[in-house]
Amino acid sequence: MEKSKKIWYNKGIKKESKKIKEKGEKQMGFFDKLKTGLNKTKQSINEKINDVFSNFRKVDEEFLEELEEILIMSDIGIETSTQIIDKLRERMKKEKIEDEEEVKRVLREEMQEILEVTDKDLHLNTKPSIILVIGVNGVGKTTSIGKIANRLAKDGKKVVVAAADTFRAAAVEQLEIWAKRAGAGIVKREEGVDPASVVYDAMKKVKEENADVLIVDTAGRLHNKKYLMDELNKIQKVINKEMPEADKEVLLVIDGTTGQNAISQVKAFKQEADITGLVLTKLDGTAKGGAVIGIVEENKIPVKFIGVGEQIDDMEVFNAEDFVKAII
């Protein structure tokens, strides 16, 4: 190999190695944050499992009943906990499982299988594509929009955000700050205007500017406020009328600290919107992280993003294996 070519080749290898190293460090950094954030969940589950092992000399039916109770108390839910224990019972017979680590291994595998059962990819193949972001007050919708916009912008996408939460005071200003940080455009109107008209204007801007993705913020709809749900339906009708061919994602943002209450939220929103994915927020410091498993199993809706921090980069595509390792 000629000397000049060799130098160029070596530089290329070093550059590529640096990229791989940086990517690995970033992923490890996020996994560390995830582990730290879910430490309370892990401590809660592991301590209880350890107690069961100390109280039982062998893994028998009584042991399984106690273990099922632990899963239920860890916010995984009755139906899902029963399903996991039934699978464990079957595998105990086949695999002759007796020790604590083997039980934990099987629990992790069964939980991971539940979380991986559905499609977690974002489908934004048309230009433009639309992401409608919904959820109750205080779950972190606006913050999540900023983080998702940032990820898309880093992937080379031109993003426009529609500030259609005209119901909450200061919502538009908050979204504007996050959009600016993410390098996204924004369409806003004064507080109290019809949110559907904001979405209409945003779609017009997206077409004019040849943008790739429109992300729509919505009011923090409490699932018992019918008029807010009607408003959501109106927004969806406008989107479907103006951009019928566009790929659409409907992301429901769930607060990781709400545990089993999140299940009722998902069921309520499913009646009003075709939810394509979940965004998990506020998982840093919660003992209720196990609820995610029950939510996915009962609703067959994938988790697409997970957030464990307040910085704009503190959101990653959901990884079931990492999540399960972080809680048990």
Give the confidence band of 222 by pLDDT, cuts at 50, 70, 90: low
pTM of the model: 0.84
Q: What's the CA angle centered on 157, arms 152 and 161, to 5 degrees?
A: 70
CA distance 315 to 328: 21
Q: How many domains does the chain have?
A: 1
The dihedral through the CA atoms of 205, 207, 208, 212 has a sign that is positive
Buried b (16+ CB within 10 A) or exposed e, 46-57: eebbeebbeeee
| Per-residue pLDDT at 21 exceeds 50 | no
CB within 8 A of 48, min separation 6: which ones? 70, 73, 74
Residue 26 counted as domain residue? no
Q: Which residue has the tokens 């019918």?
A: 226
CA distance 241 to 229: 19
What CATH number is associated with residue 275?
A: 3.40.50.300
Residue 25 counted as domain residue? no
CB within 8 A of 44, min separation 6: which ones? 74, 287
- The alpha carbons of the chain give a radius of gyration, in whole angstroms, of 23
DSSP type of residue 170: T
Nearest to 158 by CA among 117, 125, 128, 135: 128
CA distance 232 to 134: 9
* pLDDT at residue number 271: 84
For the chain, what percent of residues have pLDDT higher than 90? 44
Average pLDDT score over the chain:
84
Residue 29 counted as domain residue? no
More confident residue, 314 or 155: 155
Residue 11 counted as domain residue? no
Residue 5 counted as domain residue? no
* pLDDT at residue number 249: 96
| Per-residue pLDDT at 144 exceeds 70 | yes
pLDDT (tens digit, 9 = 90+) per residue, 36-51?
A: 767 777 777 777 877 8
CA distance 325 to 173: 38
Residue 58 counted as domain residue? yes
Domain residues for 289?
38-328
| Per-residue pLDDT at 62 exceeds 60 | yes
Residue 6 counted as domain residue? no
Residue 141 counted as domain residue? yes
Average pLDDT over residues 59-87: 90
CA distance 219 to 234: 13
* pLDDT at residue number 25: 41
CA distance 262 to 256: 8
